[in-house]
């Protein structure tokens, strides 16, 4: 899988353990499947089942908090795949550059969002793995459940608020103090309310970023347990999502922001903070299936995690080289062959990739991943040949169509079908445009997919729709300082629309797939 360029990570608060343990394990890898998750782990069935169950219960807790009882699609759509590795050190190895203080990370993408978490923390300074995993899944849940843009303080503050959920004998306790943010709350100057609401592009210092999480948690906690404050927040959010500047919307809803600062300080100084316990009887009884992975998948698991994390031109080749000998040992294992096909494709070894795809499909003709890589291979060949032969492009797309017929709500297939027209350098059909918009409905967390849909809306002259699509990215604190989504909204608000607006954004940022879609 090619690097998406967009990874969420949550940092530890202090120096982490220097211990380094291999991600590989003597124990056998197991796979747990539920409505919202696929979890790979080698910790044993009982521990894996507990992890998967608590993840589903955590999802249920958030649905109760937000009265979001109806999922946006059928159960199993837009699952998050979680890889449980041994230690935080293993997580940092997988994340690579910029991971010195990262205790876990999440990658949202149309082909299936993934998260990496350690089974245990390192030293006393490490965040607990459950807090990290719950924090990241909260982002996934919030973006997937409510079609709204959130300011950075709430996006991170809400994730912090729910991440400390505690599983007790009779229920799940929500609102537990974020002890891992205590230093920032009590020992630093802290961001003012006005600065929290200021969504400008000024980069935050490390101390300010810590305060964004900590004061964001405090402000979120402040509004979550009081109906009147909650209503005030909703008025602010409604205004923000219609284009009102954040500070202006905050003053209109909350009033004097200096008074809000004083209220927050008093709230923090309470001897006790409120919380809520949700009884297990109110939560769904999760159906968890646990099974061992195939022998081929077991042998490829370490390389699969490296591939899933994302590769580039430098890292794809060694993974492919190591995987080729392993995959040859399991020619009839569809999972192993499908995984190897992806690794070969990323290394631009298309003949090996297609041979692996054919072996996978011979063993499992309905394997969606293999069908889509068959399409990618043919699309790349057609693009490399600069062919104008419509039949060649049709033959490539037929593999996407086959995958779509097997699973109409497969967002990856819908997105790839749309991308195929960019690879051909021809305008997408209405069916393709409708499909990519449906893909965003199914996987609203993927920022590249969101930008792609917004670019299409701009080309179609739908400036207001494009701004609504872009706002979640414009307010995302993990986007670069020169946020292209925020810049594009500014361009649209100046009255520019269509290809001219995209050209003003700069080369290579118009959302058009001008090269064959990568894995």
Task: Delimit the CATH 1.25.40.10 region(s) of the chain.
Answer: 366-505
Residue 409 per-residue DSSP state: T
Would you put residue 156 in left (φ > 0), alpha (ψ -120 to 50) or beta? alpha
Per-residue pLDDT tens digits for 264-294 = 999 999 888 889 999 999 998 999 999 999 9
- Tokens 């305060």: give the residue: 211
Provide the percentage of residues in the chain whose pLDDT is more than 90.
68
Closest alpha carbon to 66 in 274, 264, 240, 234: 234
- Tokens 């062919």: give the residue: 387
What average pLDDT score do residues 403-414 get?
95
Per-residue pLDDT tens digits for 347-381 = 999 999 999 999 999 999 999 999 999 999 999 99
Can you list the positions of beta strands (E) in 194-286? Answer: 276-279
Compute the half-sphere exposure of residue 120: CA atoms within 13 Å on the CB side of its CA: 11
Q: What's the distance, Cα to Cα, between the start and end of the chain in Å?
A: 5
Task: Inform me whether the pLDDT recorded for 247 exceeds 90.
Answer: yes
Measured CA distances, 246 to 113, 196, 477, 486 (Å):
29, 10, 14, 13
Q: How far apart are CA 236 and CA 297, in angstroms?
A: 49
Q: What global pTM score does this model have?
A: 0.89
Close Cβ partners of 510 (under 8 Å, ≥ 6 residues apart) = 455, 499, 502, 503
CB 149, CB 472: distance < 8 Å: yes
Q: How far apart are CA 67 and CA 65, in angstroms?
A: 6
What average pLDDT score do residues 390-399 get?
95
Task: Delimit the CATH 3.40.30 region(s) of the chain.
Answer: 1-147+279-292
pLDDT score for 132 = 87
The arrangement of secondary structure in 1-147+279-292, i.e. its CATH architecture, is: 3-Layer(aba) Sandwich (3.40)
Per-residue pLDDT tens digits for 164-189 = 999 999 999 999 988 888 878 887 77
CATH, range 366-505: 1.25.40.10
**Helices in 407-512 by DSSP H: which ranges?**
411-424, 430-442, 447-459, 463-474, 484-493, 499-505
> How far out from the chain centre does Cα 376 lie?
23
Residues in the chain: 519
Close Cβ partners of 467 (under 8 Å, ≥ 6 residues apart) = 243, 489, 492, 493
Task: Inform me whether the pLDDT recorded for 18 exceeds 50.
Answer: no
What average pLDDT score do residues 336-351 get?
98
Name which of 12-21, 251-260, 430-439, 452-461 the model is least confident about: 12-21
CB 148, CB 35: distance < 8 Å: no
What average pLDDT score do residues 297-316 get?
95
């Amino acid at each position: 899988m090619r690097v998406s360029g967009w990874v969420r990570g949550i940092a530890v608060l202090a120096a982490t353990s220097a211990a380094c343990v291999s991600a590989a394990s003597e124990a056998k890898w197991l796979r747990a499947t539920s409505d919202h998750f696929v979890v790979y782990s080698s910790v044993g069935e009982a521990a894996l089942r507990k992890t998967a169950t608590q993840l589903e219960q955590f999802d249920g807790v958030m649905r109760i908090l937000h009265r979001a009882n109806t999922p946006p699609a059928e159960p199993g759509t837009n699952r998050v795949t979680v890889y449980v590795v041994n230690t935080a050190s293993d997580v940092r190895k997988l994340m690579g550059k910029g991971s010195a203080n990262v205790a876990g990370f999440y990658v949202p993408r149309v082909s299936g969002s993934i998260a990496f978490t350690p089974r245990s923390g390192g030293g006393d300074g490490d965040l607990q793995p459950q807090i990290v995993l719950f924090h990241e899944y909260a982002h996934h849940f919030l973006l997937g459940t409510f079609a709204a843009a959130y300011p950075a303080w709430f996006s991170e503050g809400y994730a912090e608020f729910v991440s400390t959920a505690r599983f007790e004998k009779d229920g799940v306790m929500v609102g537990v103090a974020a002890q891992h943010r205590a230093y920032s709350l009590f020992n630093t100057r802290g961001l003012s309310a006005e600065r929290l609401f200021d969504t400008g592009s000024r980069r935050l210092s490390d101390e300010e970023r810590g305060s964004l999480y900590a004061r964001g948690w405090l402000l979120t906690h402040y509004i979550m347990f009081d109906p009147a404050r909650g209503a005030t927040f909703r008025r602010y959010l409604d205004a923000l999502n219609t284009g009102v500047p954040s500070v202006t919307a905050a003053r209109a809803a909350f009033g004097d922001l200096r008074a809000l600062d004083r209220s927050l300080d008093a709230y923090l100084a309470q001897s006790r903070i409120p919380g809520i316990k949700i009884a297990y009887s109110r939560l769904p009884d999760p159906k968890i299936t646990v099974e061992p992975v195939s022998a081929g998948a077991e042998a490829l698991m370490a390389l699969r995690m490296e591939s899933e994390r994302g590769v580039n031109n430098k890292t794809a080749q060694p993974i492919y080289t190591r995987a080729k000998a392993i995959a040859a040992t399991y020619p009839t294992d569809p999972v192993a062959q499908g995984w190897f096909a992806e690794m070969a494709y990323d290394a631009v070894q298309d003949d090996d990739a297609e041979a692996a795809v054919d072996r996978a499909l011979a063993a499992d003709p309905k394997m969606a991943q293999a069908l889509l890589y068959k399409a990618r291979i043919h699309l790349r060949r057609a693009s490399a040949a600069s062919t104008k032969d419509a039949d060649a492009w049709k033959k490539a797309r037929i593999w996407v169509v086959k995958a779509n017929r097997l699973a109409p709500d497969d967002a990856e297939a819908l997105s790839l079908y749309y991308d195929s027209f960019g690879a051909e350098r021809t305008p997408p059909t209405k069916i393709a445009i409708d499909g990519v918009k449906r893909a965003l409905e199914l996987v609203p967390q993927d920022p590249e997919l969101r930008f792609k849909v917004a670019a299409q809306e701009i080309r179609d002259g739908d400036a207001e729709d494009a701004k609504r699509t872009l706002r979640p990215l414009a307010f995302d604190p993990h986007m670069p300082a020169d946020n292209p989504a925020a810049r594009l909204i500014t361009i649209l608000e100046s009255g520019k629309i269509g290809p001219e607006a995209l050209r003003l954004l700069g080369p290579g940022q118009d959302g058009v797939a001008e090269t064959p879609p990568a894995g």
